[in-house]
Structure 1
Amino acid sequence: MKTLNGKIALVTGGNSGIGYAAAKELRAQGAEVIITGRREEAVRQAAEEIGATGFVADQGKVNAIEQLAGEVKEKFGRIDILFINAGVLGGAGIEGAAEADFDYVMDVNFKGAFFTLSRFIPLINDGGSVVFLSSNVASMNGMNASIYSSSKAALNAVMKIAAKELAPRKIRVNAVSPGPTQTEILNKLGLDEASRKGLDDWMIDRIPLKKIGNAEDVAKLVSYFSGDNASFITGAEVVIDGGMSL
């Protein structure tokens, strides 16, 4: 049974990885889906594959977020589901970190996510759902991960406060926090085959279930949060990492 019939969902960063899988799952559950991304050709191709509407937008720029909100309002009027997924990887040791390292991650993962929520609140129907893509590292303490981990921890704080601020309108706000997930973003690390296998083995060794997650697992959780079965859940973070953060 399709659980999201009649709903309109917006997925930022929906042209690849977890965003693409979530957009595909939301569409399969009956929602009309809008995806965004920074690369026009990738957005166009993904939108065609999913049966979605695509918009080119950079979540790291507030003026682009505001333009996107205006375009969505003009074309769709309102939305019911907002999955704030777009994000980047990046890190550096605290000593010697460059301002550019900090800004690159924070501009998209925190500032961009914050203002995406802020500017889309007026467009979300009462009773709607917001889901943030966080990360299990928000509550972990890995070396050279302070910037990325902080961006996700800040996101979780915003999620909980937004859950309280939007409760009068029955808008639920939650977060999903994956651990290592097989997506294209891992391939962008520039590792050769041997180094990539070494990274995978290193991660698997630290995961009790001894496997790396997949985007479809996360997508199903996003879909669950978006529907009526989760109507009494707000302000929750669900970690989906095979036990890595235990």
Structure 2
Amino acid sequence: MTHSTSQSPGSSRYQGKIALITGGSSGMGLATARRLLAEGATVVITGRDKSRLDAAVEELGGGAHVLAVPGDTSSLADLDALADAIRQRFGRLDVVFANAGVASFQPHAEVTEAEFGRVVDINFKGVFFTLQKTLPLLSDGAAIVVNASWTLHRGMPGGSLYAATKAAVHNLAHTLAAELGPRRIRVNSVSPGYIETPMFHAEVSAEAQAVVVGEVVAGRIGTAEDVADAVAFLASGEASYINGQDLIIDGGLVASIPGKLL
């Protein structure tokens, strides 16, 4: 499914800005990197799979405005290396999109300790320490956007572990908005609904996808570009008075019931 997005009001609003996007080799991260590049930013993308990261750099056009740093956000050593690479190359950051995460859905009774550790390490620990390690690089007046999930707003069977990690990073955004206020660093989160990404296709069968479309008032699954549009807005000066908020990007999934279901 394709979905065209309109051009932003200011096509150069990120001119001269340095943006970090974790999990930037595919899906929402890659779409956001593409969007910020188009608006003048220099982007740093991370990912665990070097081959996918190399492919993303090629898709983004490479050059001096794209830096790829392989690494796992759940590894503090990798995050230290990431911060060092950014410091040496650019000396600062203006935007962070803490996007890297994994999906995990199973009944609560079936969650193992190993799976709990894996998902918490990536979805919560990874975001927490990504922000801690890059904070010294953030310029005053910078913007942070955290990728949360619609599942923190509406209970979904099988989502207890995943949703809990997303609720944690959403709350982290609230807390850091207060803590970083003296430096005018804004912190918000986005909560995507059903978004057509490689992860979505891996987790949701074709039959289930047809069913979930019927739950969305907009009548379609969202695209990675829908999320990129929202992140680009929240991290821009146009959102200068939006802080500590969560923007739900779900086509109405959380707030509304499609008339055909009544």
TM over 0.5, shorter chain: yes
Q: In the alignment, what sits opposite 1:200? A: 209
Q: In the alignment, what sits opposite 1:225? A: 234
Residue type at the aligned position of 1:160:
H
Q: Does the Cα contact within 8 Å between 2:216 and 2:251 map onto a contact in 1?
A: yes
- 2:102 matches 1:91: no
- 2:24 matches 1:10: no
1:70 Cα deviation (Å)? 1.5
Structure 1: where are the runs of 5+ without partners?
Answer: none
Deviations 1:92-135 (A, max 9, x none): 22224210121121111101001101111110000000000111
151, 155, 177: which is aligned to 2:191?
177
Residue type at the aligned position of 1:203:
V
Give me the TM-score of the superposition, normalised by structure 2.
Answer: 0.89
Q: In the alignment, what sits opposite 2:222? A: 213
1:200 Cα deviation (Å)? 1.0
- 2:126 matches 1:105: no
35, 53, 56: which is aligned to 1:43?
53
Q: In the alignment, what sits opposite 1:70? A: 84
167, 188, 199: which is aligned to 2:181?
167
Q: In the alignment, what sits opposite 1:27? A: 37
Counterpart CA distance in 2 for 1:198 and 1:228 is 42
Q: In the alignment, what sits opposite 1:150? A: 164
Counterpart CA distance in 2 for 1:56 and 1:96 is 32
SS of alignment partner, residue 13 of structure 2: coil
Structure 2: where are the runs of 5+ without partners?
Answer: 1-10, 256-262
Q: In the alignment, what sits opposite 1:244? A: 253
Counterpart CA distance in 1 for 2:110 and 2:170 is 27
Q: Does the Cα contact within 8 Å between 1:163 and 1:173 map onto a contact in 2?
A: yes
Give me the TM-score of the superposition, normalised by structure 1.
Answer: 0.95
TM alignment of 1:114-125, pairs within 5 A: 114-125=128-139
Q: Does the Cα contact within 8 Å between 2:194 and 2:200 map onto a contact in 1?
A: no
Q: Does the Cα contact within 8 Å between 1:13 and 1:86 map onto a contact in 2?
A: yes
Q: In the alignment, what sits opposite 2:5? A: none
Q: Identity across aligned pairs (percent)?
A: 38
Residue type at the aligned position of 2:47:
G
Residue type at the aligned position of 1:3:
R
CA RMSD of aligned residues (A): 1.1
1:242 Cα deviation (Å)? 0.8
Q: Does the Cα contact within 8 Å between 2:48 and 2:71 map onto a contact in 1?
A: yes
